[in-house]
Amino acid sequence: MSQGINNGSALCRFCGSPLHHTFVDLGMSPPCESYLSQEQLNAMEPFYPLHVYVCDQCFLVQLEQYMSPEAIFCEYAYFSSYSDAWLQHAKYYTEMAVERFKLHGASQVVELASNDGYLLQYFVQKGIPVLGVEPAANVAISAIEKGVPTLVKFFGEELAREMVTEGKGADLLIGNNVLAQVPDLNDFVQGMKTFLKPGGVITMEFPHLMRLMEENQFDTIYHEHFSYFSFFSVEKIFAFHGLKIFDVEELSTHGGSLRIYACHGDDTSKVAGNRVDELRERELAAGVADLGLYSSFDEKVKKTKRLLLDFLINAKETGRSIAGYGAPGKGNTLLNYCGVRTDFIDYTVDRNPYKQGKYLPGTHIPIFHPDKVKETRPDYLLILPWNFKDEIIKQMSYIRDWGGQFVVPIPEAKVIG
Ligand SMILES: [Zn+2]
């Protein structure tokens, strides 16, 4: 297997064992949310390794932490509310949770990494008390403006104890796409255990490592994502902190996510359902507890890079123009790893006004308002947030008026007819 042996300093974020086995090495990359202004283009940019390891003891796939969480999250460019599909997902979740967990005007719903209030706003509409915890001040302000009370803090055991002392606690504790981004995983999960009321429920959504591997989603690896979870690893981590996973759903969001439902380990009112056993067995059969499963991924990723470059080179050789759609973190991993700059892609567009007028980190591809596509009529539109490709193809279907075509880079470069 490809074994980049590290310098021996890195230890597993969960179990503390030394990390020796490479999962994938994407080389050096800038922090993926560090969009640049024009004035910053001539300045030095920090690049950090995107070298992911798998622990040979607990099989947690993980990236070393190179930057402080404060540096990453204090001004976060990702506003959840800019995606219609994600808002719809949040709305459906709210309907389900209110009914399944019998939430009412005296319940307390808490979301960790509540972003701009994209989810909690739907609980507010139903008259259910909410609290958001969000470390990025700029997105938290947007939540507060929506009427979602939000604490601008990092969550962990210390904050959980502080809030419990003040008589707070959660009946429903939500964490969507946050677990991967927690540098001190044990402190965070212990904090959830502390903050959960007896009889309360935790639900968390995170990208499923098995799908990442199966569908070659290496571009979802970035410095902000420290851990990549199988059901196997997350169940082990929760059990260590006295939490029991009693249900799990496989969702299509973010290229394939898990939604886990957890409670206190001694809560006998919730019995683990079939889906938990079924998924656990399916992962074991796929080799989730065997290093062999992880060792082949690096080569698969290199092959995807060659396929994308083949497509781009061919398009340019035949005189076609290519623009990007979206400026997501995953696009930055992809473009930096593949070395794709304005030599291939003239520009990209994004609906998020915060990103318009800026440049992608590393590659310096300019970001415009989506109307730019109408003006320049590119032959190809490369969809970087491929997890929203259906929504984007619908929004941008007018490119077909001039014979434009959509391209997705993952799981391999493909033109959508
Ligand atoms: Zn480990």
Please state, in angstroms and as integers, the Cα–Cα distance from residue 297 to each residue in 209, 223, 267, 393, following that order.
12, 19, 39, 29
Q: In this model, does residue 3 exceed pLDDT 50? A: no
Q: E strand or H helix at 351, and its extent?
A: none
pLDDT, tens only, 175-223: 998 999 898 999 999 999 999 999 999 999 999 999 999 999 999 998 8
182 Cα to the center of ligand 1, angstroms: 15
- CA nearest neighbour of 372 among 324, 317, 416, 318: 324
Neighbours of 391 (CB within 10 A): 16
- Residue 75: which pLDDT band, with cuts at 50, 70 and 90? low
Rounded Cα gap, residues 30 and 359, in angstroms? 13
Task: Identify the burial level of 304 via C-beta atoms within 10 angstroms of its C-beta, where 0-12 means exposed, 13-18 middle and 19 or more buried.
Answer: buried
Please give the average per-residue pLDDT across 81-87, as a whole number: 77
* Weakest mean pLDDT among 32-46, 231-245, 299-313, 329-343: 32-46
322 Cα to the center of ligand 1, angstroms: 43
Rounded Cα gap, residues 207 and 278, in angstroms? 18
226 Cα to the center of ligand 1, angstroms: 13
Rounded Cα gap, residues 405 and 359, in angstroms? 24
64 Cα to the center of ligand 1, angstroms: 13
9 Cα to the center of ligand 1, angstroms: 14
Q: What is the pLDDT of residue 2?
A: 35
Q: In this model, does residue 8 exceed pLDDT 80? A: no
Mean pLDDT of the chain: 93
- Give the SS3 label for residue 106: coil
Rounded Cα gap, residues 359 and 36, in angstroms? 5
50 Cα to the center of ligand 1, angstroms: 19
Q: Is the dihedral of CA 270, 275, 277, 280 positive or negative?
A: negative
- Residue 81: which pLDDT band, with cuts at 50, 70 and 90? low
- Which letter does DSSP use for residue 70 in this model? H
Q: What is the pLDDT of residue 34?
A: 85
Rounded Cα gap, residues 396 and 67, in angstroms? 36
Q: In this model, does residue 417 exceed pLDDT 80? A: no
Greatest pairwise CA separation for the chain in angstroms: 67
Rounded Cα gap, residues 325 and 221, in angstroms? 19
233 Cα to the center of ligand 1, angstroms: 9
Whole-angstrom Cα Rg for the chain: 21
Strand partners, 27: none
68 Cα to the center of ligand 1, angstroms: 21
User: What is the full DSSP assignment across 305-342?
Assistant: HHHHHHHHHHHHHTT--EEEE---HHHHHHHHHHT--T
Rounded Cα gap, residues 417 and 414, in angstroms? 9
Q: Strand ranges (DSSP E) for 55-169?
A: 61-63, 109-112, 130-133, 150-151
329 Cα to the center of ligand 1, angstroms: 26
Please give the average per-residue pLDDT across 326-353, as a whole number: 95
235, two tokens = 């169940």
60 Cα to the center of ligand 1, angstroms: 6
User: What is the full DSSP assignment across 178-238?
Assistant: -GGG-SSHHHHHHHHHHHEEEEEEEEEEEEBHHHHHHTT-GGG--TT--EEB-HHHHHHHH
How many whole angstroms from its chain centre is CA 176? 9
- Give the SS3 label for residue 250: strand
237 Cα to the center of ligand 1, angstroms: 10
185 Cα to the center of ligand 1, angstroms: 12
61 Cα to the center of ligand 1, angstroms: 8
20 Cα to the center of ligand 1, angstroms: 11
Q: In this model, does residue 166 exceed pLDDT 70? A: yes
Q: E strand or H helix at 247, and its extent?
A: strand 243-251
Please give the average per-residue pLDDT across 17-22, as a whole number: 96
